[in-house]
Amino acid sequence: MNYTYAHNNYHSSLSIPSGTTLYAPTLLGTNDSPLEILSRYWWDGVTLKREIAVYNHETTQFEESTSSVSDYLSSGFYAAEILLDSGTWYAMLYNFDDSQWETWESQVGGSGPDPYGRGWDVWEEWNFDEGDWPDLGETFEAKEILINIEGSGDAYVTSSHGSEAKDVGSAPYSFAWTSNYYRWYVDADR
């Protein structure tokens, strides 16, 4: 069994400009995972939505919980795990209210967006202008990321870039993949 595990944070009061979307942070598993678990802040055309969601790169669909986001939070963080077992991918979140892991999405086979099969934990933003950024006093981070490659054991992954955006010039990641970014990844071949 292979898995990627992280504690990622979520901001229940974060505001972003109309027409923009922010995924911060977003966790993709290693070994060509098609499932990605993320903190999602977006406009549905009228209302600003804040949620934890799973994106399936095979179906190009989001899956959200019908439970309260607060059920999954502990000190502003949620525990997320993406695992591969017998050819099926599972995106799981820990429900602190019920003290149990829940499967939010599963996918038999499939592939992810990284051609090298790497996982990451990044910030992604869409349609922001320089003056539109949310309050970057907010921290978007993963407390820890744990990777298990079957047969190799567990490995904690750290970033050489840190985990906090402090100003626009150091914003971790843009949709064009051209600006500075923060990411943690483990090569699937290790």
Kindly report, residue by residue over 98-108, the tens digit of the pLDDT. Answer: 999 999 999 99
Would the pLDDT of 71 be above 70? yes
Interval 44-69: pLDDT, tens: 989 999 999 999 999 999 998 888 99
Task: Give the separation between CA 12 and CA 188, rounded to whole angstroms.
Answer: 34
Instruction: Show the tokens assigned to 119.
Output: 């996982």
Domain boundaries along the sequence of the chain: 2-170
Triad 144, 185, 6: Cα angle to 5°: 25
Q: Residue 63: its pLDDT value, please?
A: 92
Confidence band, pLDDT 50/70/90 cuts, at residue 156: low
Kindly report whether the peptide bond that precedes residue 113 is cis, defined as omega within 30 degrees of 0: no
> At residue 143, what are phi and psi to the nearest 5 degrees?
-65, -40
pLDDT band at 72 (very low <50, low <70, confident <90, very high): very high
pLDDT of residue 113: 86
3-state secondary structure of 174: coil
Residue 78 to residue 137: CA distance in whole angstroms: 20
Query: Higher model confidence: residue 178 or residue 93?
Result: 93
Q: How far apart are CA 8 and CA 145, in angstroms?
A: 9
| DSSP three-state, residue 70 | helix
Max mean pLDDT among 87-91, 115-119, 149-153 falls in 87-91
Contact 27, 36 (CB under 8 A): yes
Q: pTM of the predicted model, to two decimals?
A: 0.79
Give dist(CA 93, CA 31) in Å, integer: 19
The share of the chain scoring above pLDDT 70, in percent, equals 67
Token reading at 9: 């944070």
Would you identify the CATH topology of the domain 2-170? Jelly Rolls (2.60.120)
- Residues 6+ positions from 169 with CB-CB distance below 8 Å: 180
User: Across all residues in the chain, what is the average pLDDT?
Assistant: 75
